[in-house]
């Protein structure tokens, strides 16, 4: 039988931090967790949409300001948050025009990977159960250039930059699992991806791809945001989810949660170590 939100164990008394909880996958993840009894800290940049959603979800939804494209905001958020059970690194940007974060990072790498890397490191001592980091099927096309992680020396290619950031997410989640286990920690690290889900993320490329993806969203090859959130929810709540594994739709792009295949480059220990060291250097946050 396919796993669904009906299979989420009772989450009463448990607290989650979800980045980008105000829309798309983050909203659906938050809705499902609240319905299961959890308390959710909605860590969002857009306070207006976050507060509007929290008002609908009730007193167990708490909004906190977090801009992953600004390390000062990440640090301030981490200082305000108390102990909790699960961190869900969900927020992300996809294939946007070239922009820079407050700290000068390429916006997709800075938000999707470096912001979450710093956030995880600053919060790790407060997490009691697990960390879930979202990657994407697009990680398959990631070709990390650690000599130019932030696209300062090359012509910017938005889809390549996105794929790189998602490969970084996968490598980080897997390496975090290994290092937590080696350190003797009982905290787990899982990675998830939504397949092809209609989340609104697709409408910000500011290119002809926005129209193409709007058309694709009406076809059977695309699932709803609620369905796309299921791998994340499985990784975040199921007692059967295992540290270091990558969860996605069973049919790659659509379907119920299942252990997902991935690009074997994510297993390269040398690259993972180098990415980890570079991420610590760039963010100024030491993780494990």
Q: How far apart are CA 150 and CA 72, in angstroms?
A: 19
Terminal alpha carbon distance of the chain: 38
- Three-state DSSP at 280 gives helix
Strands 246-249 and 257-259: antiparallel
Look up residue 138 and give its two tokens.
């697009």
HSE of 40, CA atoms in CB hemisphere, 13 A: 32
Q: Which of 73, 53, 71, 72 is nearest to 63 (CA)?
A: 53
Q: What is the DSSP string of 151-195?
A: SSSS---HHHHHHHHHHHHHHHHHHHHHHHHHHT---EEEEE--S
b/e map 4-40, b = 16+ CB within 10 Å: ebebbeebeebbbbbbbbbbbbbbbbbbbbbebebbb
Q: Which residue has the tokens 């299979």?
A: 7
- Three-state DSSP at 287 gives coil
- CB of 172 closer than 8 Å to CB of 117: yes
Angle separating helix axes 47-57 and 24-35, nearest 10 degrees: 20
Q: How far apart are CA 3 and CA 188, in angstroms?
A: 21
Q: Which of 119, 61, 137, 163 is nearest to 284 (CA)?
A: 119
Residues noted as catalytic: 162
């Amino acid at each position: 039988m396919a796993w669904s939100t009906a299979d989420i164990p009772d989450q009463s008394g448990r607290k989650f931090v979800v980045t980008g909880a105000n829309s798309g996958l983050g909203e659906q993840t938050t809705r499902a967790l609240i319905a299961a009894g959890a308390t959710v800290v909605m860590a969002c940049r857009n306070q207006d949409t976050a507060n509007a959603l929290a008002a609908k979800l009730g007193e167990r939804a708490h909004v906190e300001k977090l801009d992953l494209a600004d390390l000062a905001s990440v640090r301030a958020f981490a200082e305000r948050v108390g102990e909790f059970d699960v961190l869900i690194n969900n927020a992300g940007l996809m294939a946007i025009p070239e922009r820079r974060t407050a700290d000068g990072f390429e916006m997709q790498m800075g938000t999707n990977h470096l912001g979450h890397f710093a956030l995880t490191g600053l919060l790790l001592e407060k997490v009691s159960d697990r960390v879930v980091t979202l990657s994407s099927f697009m990680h398959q096309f990631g070709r990390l250039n650690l000599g130019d992680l932030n696209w300062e020396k090359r012509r910017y290619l938005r889809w390549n930059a996105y794929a790189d950031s998602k490969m970084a997410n996968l490598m980080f989640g897997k390496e975090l699992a290994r290092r937590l286990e080696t350190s003797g920690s009982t905290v787990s690290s899982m990675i998830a991806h939504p397949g092809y889900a209609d989340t609104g993320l697709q409408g910000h490329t500011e290119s002809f791809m926005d129209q193409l993806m709007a058309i694709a969203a009406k076809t059977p090859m695309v699932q709803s945001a609620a369905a796309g959130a299921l791998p994340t929810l499985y990784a975040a709540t199921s007692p059967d989810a295992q540290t270091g594994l990558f969860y996605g739709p069973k049919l790659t792009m659509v379907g119920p949660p299942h252990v997902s295949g991935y690009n074997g480059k994510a297993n390269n220990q040398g690259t993972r170590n180098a990415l980890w060291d570079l991420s610590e250097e760039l963010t100024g946050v030491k993780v494990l």
